[in-house]
Each structure stands twice: as C-alpha cells, then as structure tokens.
Structure 1
Amino acid sequence: MYHLSQGDELDSQYDEDQYVQRFRVHSTLSSREMINSPISPVEPDERTHLLQASRKQVRSWTSTFLKRALLLNVFPVLVVLAWCAIPFPNNNPYDDPDKNISSVDYIKNNFLAYNSSLNDTDSSHLPAPNSEPVEINFWFFLFFYYGFYNAIALLMITKIFDLYSLNWWPKWLGGFFAYCVFWLMSLAIGMLIYFFTGLEKHNLTWVLLTFMTMNMPLIVAFIVIRSENRNTYRHSLTLAQKTFLEPQLLHRIPTSYLRFLWFCTTIFLVIIAFIAGEAYAYVFLVSPETHSGIDAFVYVYSWLATVYILDTVTDYILETKVRSYPLQFTFKLYFFMIYFIFYRNLFARLRDRDTYILIQAASSLWVCIFYPLCMTRTVHRYLVCYFGLRKEYEDYQRQCGRSFFIRNLAENATMLGFICWIIIISNGPNKSVYPYFKFEDDLFDFDLTLRASCVIWAFELASSAITRNIYKRVFNHDITREAVIDFETYPELVITMIVIIIHVLQDMLMALLSLNFEGGNAAKPRP
C-alpha cells in the first residue's frame, strides 16, 4: 500500500538524503541533462491521481518567464477571484429586492416565478441603511463558498503527501473516493452545526472545521501504518540474534516510521500557522477600530517573526529528519504566503501616505540588504562556526537563492490578488458581505489604498530586480534557473505550489467574510 514500505523496512526508497548531494552537481549541467541523467530522483510508485503533471508538461509550462508568471501568479489568483466574485444570494433588509440581483427574493421572482411578499412592501418600512446586517443563504455558502475552500484545503494536504510519496488513505478505499468521503463528511458536520448549534455565524467555527478536515489524512495515515505494524522492526532474526539481541531489537523503531512522525509534525505546524494567521486577522484586520502606523508596524513585524520562527523550525525538521527537498520548497512558500497575504490586507486599514511609506521603507531595505548579506561567505562561515551549519557554501548559496525566489513568488501573487479583489469586491455584488472592503468610512480611502498598493508593488519589483542583479553579478547565481531545474526534477512540486497559493488566498477572504445566515439555530428566538 505504502511506497515507504517497499524495500528496506528501515528506510524509504524515496530517500532525499543520498539524492540531495548528487542533485547539487546540476550547476554544471543543463536542465535537460539533469532530468535525463541517472541521478534523477526515484519516481513514486503510487499516485493520488489528483492533478498530476509529467516532467514534459512542467518543462513546457515553465520554459519562459511569461509562462511561469501566468501559471504561478495569474492562474491561482484568477481561481480565487472567480470564487469570491460570484454573488452571494442574500436578503438585504435595506435594498429593493427587485433591483438587487443577488437577493434571494430577486432570484425567486425572476427565475422561479415566486411572488414574494416584499413586492408589496412600501420602501418607507424598510430599515435604515446599515441598520441590519445582510442575511446570506447558508446552502450557497456551505456547498459552493465553503465547500470549494475546504476542498482546496484537503487537496493541499493530499498533494503534500504526494511529495512525501505516501498515500494517506487505505488501499481498499482508493484515493479519489477517500478524498470525496472526507470532504462530504466535513460538509455534513457543517449542516449539523447550522441546524443544532448557534455557532454557524462565527468564522472561527469554519476555521476549526477546516482544521479538522486537514488533520483527517494525518489521523488516517497514522492508524493504517500502526495497523500494518509499520512502526515495528519486522526483519526476521537469526538464531544468534534471537538468543543475544532480541530484547534490544524488539525496541528498535524503523527509520521510515520516525521520518513519518516528523513529517506529521511539520504538517501539524503548518496547520497551526493557519490557525495563528486567522487569529491575527481577527484581532487586527477585522477589529472595527482604526490603527496607527506604529500599530501596523508592530503587527507586520510581530507576524513576520512568528512566520520566520515556524518556517525555521519546519525547515530544520524537513532537512535533518524527513530529508525531503520538495517539501522544504513548498512549506517555505506556504509560510511566505501567509505572511504576505495578511500584510497586504493591512493596506485597507491604513489612513495616510506616511504609514505606507514607513512600512514599505522597512520592507525594501530588508530585501536589498538582508538577502545579499546572507549570501556572503562571511555569514556562511559564521553559521558554520557558531550554529553548527553543515552545508557547503554552494549548497548554502542555493538555499538562500531558493528562499528569495519563493519570497518573490509570494509577494507578487498576494499583491495581485489583493489589488484585484478590492476592486471586484468593493464595486461588486458581494460588497455587503465583505464589510472590510466597503471603504465607506471617511477614514479609509479606496483610491488611496489602490494607488499606494500599486506604488508599493512597484517598489517591491524594483528591490527584487536589484537583489537578483546582485546575486548574478556578485555571487554568479541565477535563482530563476535553479528554480526551473527544481520544477523539472519534481513535477509534482508545481501543482502543489499552485494549490498552496490558492488555499492561502482563500484563507484571507474566508477570515474577512461577514457570516449572517438566514434561519439556522442562531436565528431562533431565545427564551
């Protein structure tokens, strides 16, 4: 069943430890030579059959700058924009139901030939604007909005298992069927919450339900491995071993099982980061009060410190315990994405140009100084001497370059997403269900937010170009070329990256959605 169980019980066939050293000789090879060489990694024997890509496809997708930008930046953003732009069926107590195309009564009147009593209601009896929150249709939210969001979250975990070359579902159940079953289970629990509790109006409820959904594969994989005794040393013993070494060998744990436990630990840390990000959004972004420039500065860099700590811990575990290069790549992208997406949405609550300048000046200086400084041999020697770094300088150089490439990818995807959805939401039919993007308060200016965001993006692109130029001229290192070779070597990496980008962008919008449902237990009168 498991790819990890083939061959030696104590080790994985998909062992990055031996591969990484050989892979790093690719600086003298072209990408095509690298892919066709015998030192390429062993392909996993089992696949999820969910969004696979071959090396030939990935080579075609990433062959030019334009194709890479469309695939990794534009396409995920378009998916998220389409998801959040579809109008929520709603009942707005202060809108004319015959003019509001997203209202439930409009849909009934025009598509179902339903005569609503609101047609005969005098507009003078309607509540004053903004006196009551908009009521959205729960079933649209559950099956389309939350359903798609939850499906992407479960798919992200499945693709991460793919990179580890491990199927999380029982063999008899099958990959696609198991995925559908657990997705439908989460929606069924959402229905029970709606009918029997008063918790459906809280964003945290749906965050925790997604947290549970993302943990299901870990629990199932752990149970199946334990049931198949993959956690015990099962090699047959000779007579001499049984006589003298049996007590010691019985307590030995296979290396593959230990690696699996570390792998589960890193996924759990990733999900914890997801919860922490939602908490940050609730405390700072969704709070109604305005924030000063100092508040924003503290928010950004406290969140930055949190993300860097979690990223450092997971990167260390993946490199030393799990030994998986593609997992290091994808998890670093995840942490950069959750930092930048919360940083971007802070712009919608800044009130003056000075605040934007303060935040962006610190960010640009950080990029242009910190990243080239980290690339130097002096810093490498310091890390070797005082922090026990065991990488050769060439490997360390590639690690720094990879980190900067992922940072650029997260920067561009999140800024493109933010600029597009403030335009679409603030001027579209879902404006009422995303009060964060209304910009109706005199303190917050849509034009200022849009212009300042575009200027900040231009500065980020400039600082990125400067840093890349420093890498090429001073360190003779092309981070784009290295990334393309990684994509062609690990074709599953590209699909996983796209799913991660979509998931994190959806996280932010999910946190900012105003949940006020028609009916449900929360709407029932209390005694």
Structure 2
Amino acid sequence: MPPLFSFSEGREPAGPDSTPLLGRFRAVPGPSLGKKKSKGEFFGSVGYGSLFRSRSEEEGVGRGDGGRGDGGRGGAEGDGGWKLWEGVRDVWVQPKGEVVGWVLGWWIARWVVVVGLPAGIAVAWCAIPFPQYALPGNGGEEDGDADGHRVPGHGQARVLVNFWFFLFVYYGFYNFTALMWITKVFNIYSLNWWPQSLGFPLTVSTIAALSIAAPIPLYYIPTARAYLHYNTVWILWTFITMAMPVAVAFAILTSHERHLSLRNSLSDTQRLFTTSWWAGDVESDTLARRDRRRPQALLANFDPDAPLAIDNAEAMPPRAGLGMRKLWIPASFVRFMWFCATLSIALLAYVLGETYAEIYLRTLPHDSMETIVYVYSWVVTIHLLDGLTGWILGSDDGERVSSYPLGWVFKLYFSLTYQTYVRALYARLRSPQQFMLLQLLSSTTLIIIHPLTMSSTYHSLLGLLRLNTQSYTTYARFCRRTLFIRSLAENASMAAFLGQILVLHYGANRDAYPYFAFDGAEGGDAEGLYDFDRTLWLAAVTWGCEIVAAWVVRRVVKGLFGKEVAGEGWRDLRRWPELLPTSAVVMVHVLQNMLFGIIRIRFKEP
C-alpha cells in the first residue's frame, strides 16, 4: 500500500530562536505567505502586513527572483539597476529582504538611511518658514510675567503665526507621521486596522481630515481660541488621533465576533466533536454556535430510531441552554488586547514626556543636582514603562503577544523618547561641568553597569527573583539588542538636536522657537546663562564621547561574551525588512515630539 505522504529525514530550515514571531504567527521572512481573506475579512497575510501589493509581485513568488519578475537582474530593462520608484517601494513601502540587505551592506548607506534620513526629515520639518506677524502691543499676556507668573523656560511668544499654515503644513505633517507610525506597527503585527470595505487610503484620509478639521471651530470662537495657544491641547488631540486606529481595529474585531469564536466552518471531522453533528446544525457549525447551543439530544428522550434533529427545536425552553453556555475567548483576541495595552503604554510615555518637559521648563534655572534628579527620574520612568512593554510583548512562543520585531520597535521608541528629552535639556545647561557630569554618569552606566547585567550571575539572580524566565542565550541576545538600539537612538537624537539648534537659531523660525534663540529673553535667563556657542560645541563633544563609549562597550561585550553587538543588530534589520521603514517612521515621530513641545504658538485672529 503506497504511503499517503512521503517524508525525508532532515532538519527544519530555521529553529524557534531564529524565525520571526509576527503577532499571531511564526513565519520565515520573505514573500507574503498568503493572500487577503474573503470579503469582510481584514487580517493581513501570515507574513508581514503591507499597504500595497502588486499582481506582478504575486506572480513572481516561487520563481526564485524575489517577486520582481525580472529573473533577479534587478532592473525592468535588465540594465543591472533599479528604477527610483522600485527602490523606494522595495525599501520603504513593501520592503524586500534582499533589497534592504543590499542597502545595509554599505556602512555609509546604513547610517544615512537609519540615522541621517529620519534626523534630516525632522530638521527640515521645523525649518519650513512660518508666515509671521507682529504681536499687538507688548503681547504675551498668558506667557509673560506681568501678573507675577514665571516666564516658561521655552520663552514667550514673540510673533503671531498663520493658523492655516500651522494646521495644514506643520501640524498636518506631524499628525500624518503619527498615523504612519501606528500603521507600520500594525503591519508588523500582521493586522490591518482599517476595514477592507473602505481600504487604507480612504480610512486614513478620513481620520487625517477629522484631525485637521476638529480645531477649526475653536479658532472662530473667541473664548475658545485661547486654548489653541497651549501645546498640551494639540498634543492631547494628537493622542486621540493616534488612538483612533486602535479603536477602529477593536470595533472590527468585536463586530466580527472575534472575541467569541472562529468564523470558519468546521470540517466533518471537527464536527464529530461538537454539538452541530448531533443537532444537524450544518449551516451554523462554528465554534461560536457550538458554545451557544445546548446539545438538543439531551433535551429529548433517547430513541435509537428517532432522527438526530428535533423538529420543534424552537419550542426549547429559553433557559434550557443557559447552563451549558460558555464564553470562549480565542488566543488571537487575547493577544490583540495585549497589543492594544502596549500601544496605550507607548502613548502614555508620550504624554508623560511632555509633562516632564513642562515641569522642568517652568522651574528654570536649575543647579547640577536638580538636573540630575530630573534626568534620572525620567530615566527610571522610561525604563519602567519599557520593561512593562517588554514583558507584554514577550520573548517566547505563547507569551502574550510573542513578537521579537514588535519588541525591537518599542525598545527603539522608548530609548529615543528618553534621549530626545535629554537632548532638549542640553540647551538649558549653564556650564561645562553640568555637561561633563551628565556624560560621566551616562558613560559609566553604559561601559560598566551594562556588561555586568549581561553576566550569567545577574541572569540567575533575575531568575531567582522570578523577574525573567528567558534562557541565558535569549537574555544575552536581548541585552545586545538593547545596546544596538541605544546607539541608534543616541546618534539619531544628537544629529537631529544639532541640526535643529542651527536652523532654529539662524533660520526664519527663530521667533517661533525662542527656546533656541539664546538671546537672554527666555524665562529664568535674565543673566544670559544659556549660550548658543557653548551649547553647540559641548553637545558635539558629548556626541563624540557617546560614540567612543559605545565603541568601548562593544569591545567589552565581544571580549567577555564572544558576541557582536552591531553586527547582530544590522542582521535583525535584514532578517525583518519591515523593521527598516517602521524604525524610520518611529524616529521621525519621536524627534518631532520634542520640537512640538517647545514651539510657542499665538495665532493671528481671523
């Protein structure tokens, strides 16, 4: 008798530690493993979610040419080069592993793409000239100190700005980046948050239009217009805008009863183990129906000659089925709820960062000890939120969300959030000693403390305290990932900071950002304590010290543990190509947050 299946002994191509965890599935990176579901379905493919997919790419799967349809030559004309739009698509829109790997193969290209490009976009965004108008009278009644209130550290409003330019250009791009960040995170989770019937372009355009239109009525109400002068109001509205995709995805899930059951019909074999076989319920033989129906055979006298179905099923007492009813919540919905919790914590960190900055700026000037307390209270807060997020995302199969790429993205988000607020602090340090003290503490933590936390002894201690259940190999890998991501965050935030203080100090938007004016008019700076040249050069020296410290700690880790840090980090980006565009969007969004918190806005009346 011939066998039903033929097997050949061998090994799986990828083990549990090397294959990516993508939300609900474990899949090998590469072309999408499935296509969109039937009408009403909104889940993405088993592979990475993406916004677009062309027919030619679907036809290319399985030909061995990476889905390009050109026999692997790389160009539509076979000339050995990619067209510009193909390169943009293969790196940023629908990333391909081989293209991303080729880009990251050059050390200059990878630093330009991963660090320089996000920082450059953030700098260009704040450098776009605002249409500005002179303040009436001496202006600044809510910003000044005429009533005995302290002038905030980010200064008084010096000019009126055009409301429509601010709304559509400045704030519009800021909101668009926030929506792209949420969307790319959903892509990595392999879940499309928008309804399939509407599609992504229409849904995101509707939310973007709503986020832009909502402040307009306040602008035309004189009593409400004053609220638009507060950055916190705009930040709160962005918080709500970013939460809309999460709410839409949750609504779609619950409307399709994903929180109760599977919607796919059961096979004949599966129906043997459900009540649908006994009751003859063929059209409704889903797990949801199974959980909500009592076996009708139990309500009738047993008769071997009687039909399986009962004719007067409608006459069954309404309370008869309540005793057997069970509420079954599938694991996929539980993972989605954990995923939503992760997004909520990330948005909470965004609001807390603005609160910390506002408190610090309204209590200037500070001595060295107050600066250290501010910095390290923020460090502790960020690490607690980061640790909670890491626990939710998990590291092993079956742990809550269980997604290494998502953990990568959120680790970058929290690391960069911490770094951006520290960079903004540099503009309010009054002496080289304060720069040196902060850098000494930072480098000591990185070079000495971090390698100690990678030791097997420290890992065993965490296990005894039940704070970590990972194997030592997995734990050490996560520690190396943290080092790599910290280096990215330090370089991107410092590159953006130096570019921002240059274009905002010398550029057209100097009066819109008095925080970087350094002309003695900021709050608490009556003595001219803050100096542009000192801030610029000491920040550049600090950046150089950070680069040296990162190089030293990589050599220490290599010598003590025999593992690379940078090489493994770049391999992560090649292994999961969707990480590259997602990381870039996360960087741009977080770098924008710091700038948005210190702009001084006063609108010209309509």
TM over 0.5: yes
Cross-structure match for 2:406: 327
Residue deviations 1:225-264 (CA, integer Å, cap 9, x gap)? 1111111024662357854999667311000000001100
The Cα of 1:36 is off from its aligned counterpart by 7.7
Q: Tell me which residue corresponds to 2:87.
A: none
**If the length of structure 2 is used for normalisation, what is the TM-score?**
0.72
Of 202, 207, 210, the match for 2:238: 210
Alignment of 1:411-426 (within 5 A): 411-426=490-505
Q: 1:215 to 1:454 in 2, by over 3 A?
A: same
1:291 aligns with 2:316: no
Match of 1:450 in 2: 536
Structure 1: which amino acid aligns with 2:370?
D
Separation (CA, whole Å) in 2 of partners of 1:423 and 1:46: 39
Letter aligned with residue 543 of structure 2: W
In structure 2, do the counterparts of structure 1 residues 167 and 201 end up closer, same or farther at CA, with 3 Å as the change threshold? same
Matches within 5 A, 1:132-151: 133-151=158-176
String of CA shifts for 1:169-206, please: whole Å, max 9, x gaps. Answer: 11111012111110011000021232232211110111
Please name the residue that 2:603 is paired with.
Answer: 517
1:461 is paired with a residue of what secondary structure? helix
Contact 2:157 2:600 in 1 (8 A): no
> What is the match of residue 554 of structure 2?
468
Shifted more, 247-256 versus 414-423: the winner is 247-256
Q: 1:278 to 1:388 in 2, by over 3 A?
A: closer
**Does structure 1 conserve the Cα–Cα contact (< 8 Å) formed by 2:49 and 2:186?**
no
Counterpart amino acid of 2:333? Y
User: Which amino acid in structure 2 is aligned with residue 181 of structure 1?
Assistant: T
Amino acid at match of 2:181: M
Distance 1:265 1:322 in 2: 10
- Superposed, 1:56-205 pairs within 5 Å as 56-93=98-135, 133-196=158-221, 197-198=224-225, 199-205=227-233
- From the superposition, tell whether residues 446 and 230 of structure 1 become closer, same or farther in structure 2 (CA, over 3 Å): same
Is the contact between residue 58 and residue 491 of structure 1 (CA under 8 Å) also seen in structure 2?
Answer: yes
Query: What TM-score comes out, normalization by structure 1 length?
Result: 0.82
Deviations 1:375-404 (A, max 9, x none): 111111111222252222111111000011
Q: Determine the structure 2 residue equivalent to 1:126.
A: none
In 1, Cα distance between the equivalents of 2:503 and 2:550? Answer: 28
Structure 2 CA distance for partners of 1:474 and 1:430, relative to 1, 3 Å: same
Query: What is the match of residue 17 of structure 2?
Result: 23
Partner-residue secondary structure (3-state), 1:323: coil
For 2:3, the equivalent position in structure 1 comes to none
Contact 1:24 1:395 in 2 (8 A): no
Of 488, 491, 516 in structure 2, the residue corresponding to residue 409 of structure 1 is 488
Work out the CA distance in 2 between the residues paired with 1:451 and 1:471: 30
CA distance in 2: counterparts of 1:279 and 1:25, whole angstroms: 40
Structure 1 position 278, deviation (Å): 1.1
CA separation of 1:134 and 1:25: change in aligned 2, threshold 3 A: closer
Shift of 1:24: 3.5
The partner residue of 2:584 within 480, 491, 498 is 498
User: Would the aligned equivalents of 1:81 and 1:420 in 2 still touch at CA under 8 Å?
Assistant: yes
Q: How does 1:288-367 map to 2 (within 5 A)?
A: 289-319=364-394, 320-367=399-446
Q: What does 1:181-260 correspond to in 2, within 5 Å?
A: 181-196=206-221, 197-198=224-225, 199-234=227-262, 237-238=274-275, 242-243=294-295, 250-260=326-336
Aligned position for 1:372: 451
Task: Tell me: CA distance 1:46–1:367, structure 2 relative to 1, closer, same or farther (3 Å).
Answer: closer
- Which structure shows the higher helix fraction? 1
Query: Shift of the alpha carbon at 1:471?
Result: 1.3
CA distance in 1, matches of 2:400, 2:371: 37
RMSD: 2.6
The count of aligned residue pairs is 459
Q: Tell me how far apart the structure 2 counterparts of residues 21 and 45 of structure 1 sit (CA, whole Å).
A: 19
Query: Helix, strand or coil: the match of 1:83?
Result: helix
Identity of aligned residues (%): 36
Hey, what's the Cα distance between the residues in 1 that align with 2:114 and 2:157? 40
Q: Which stretch of structure 1 is more off in the superposition, 500-509 or 54-63?
A: 54-63
Cα distance in 2, alignment partners of residues 414 and 436 from structure 1? 17
Contact 1:471–1:478 (Cα < 8 Å) also in 2: yes
Q: Counterpart of 2:180 in structure 1: which amino acid?
A: L
Relative to structure 1, is the Cα distance of residues 504 and 19 closer, same or farther in structure 2, using a 3 angstrom cutoff? farther
Which secondary structure state, in structure 1, belongs to the residue aligned with residue 370 of structure 2? Answer: helix
> Alpha-carbon deviation of 1:56?
2.0
Q: What corresponds to 1:390 in structure 2?
A: 469
Distance in 2 between residues matched to 1:331 and 1:367, nearest whole Å: 20
Q: 1:306 to 1:46 in 2, by over 3 A?
A: closer
Give structure 1 stretches of 5+ with no counterpart. Answer: 1-17, 27-33, 96-129, 521-527
| 3-state SS in 2 of match to 1:349 | coil
SS of 1:200 mapped into structure 2? helix
Letter in structure 1 aligned against 2:553: T
SS of 1:259's partner is: helix
Instruction: Tell me: CA distance 1:474–1:444, structure 2 relative to 1, closer, same or farther (3 Å).
Output: same
Query: What secondary structure sits across from 1:251 in the alignment?
Result: coil
* CA spacing shift, 1:388–1:210, aligned 2, 3 Å: closer
The alpha-carbon distance between structure 1 residues 283 and 248, as it changes in their structure 2 partners (threshold 3 A), is farther
1:480, distance to aligned residue in structure 2 (A): 2.0
- Partner of residue 77, structure 2: none
- Which amino acid in structure 2 is aligned with residue 24 of structure 1? S
1:400 aligned onto 2:479: yes
Contact 1:77–1:417, Cα closer than 8 Å, also in 2 = yes
Whole-Å Cα distance in 1 between the matches of residues 156 and 205 of structure 2? Answer: 41
Q: For the residues of structure 2 that align with 1:519 and 1:156, how far apart are their CA atoms?
A: 33
Counterpart CA distance in 1 for 2:170 and 2:253 is: 34
CA distance in 1, matches of 2:135, 2:393: 53
In the alignment, the residues of structure 2 paired with residue 393 and residue 25 of structure 1 have an alpha-carbon distance, to the nearest angstrom, of 18
Distance 1:65 1:317 in 2: 34
- SS of equivalent residue, structure 1 residue 23: coil
Helix, strand or coil for the counterpart of 1:432? coil
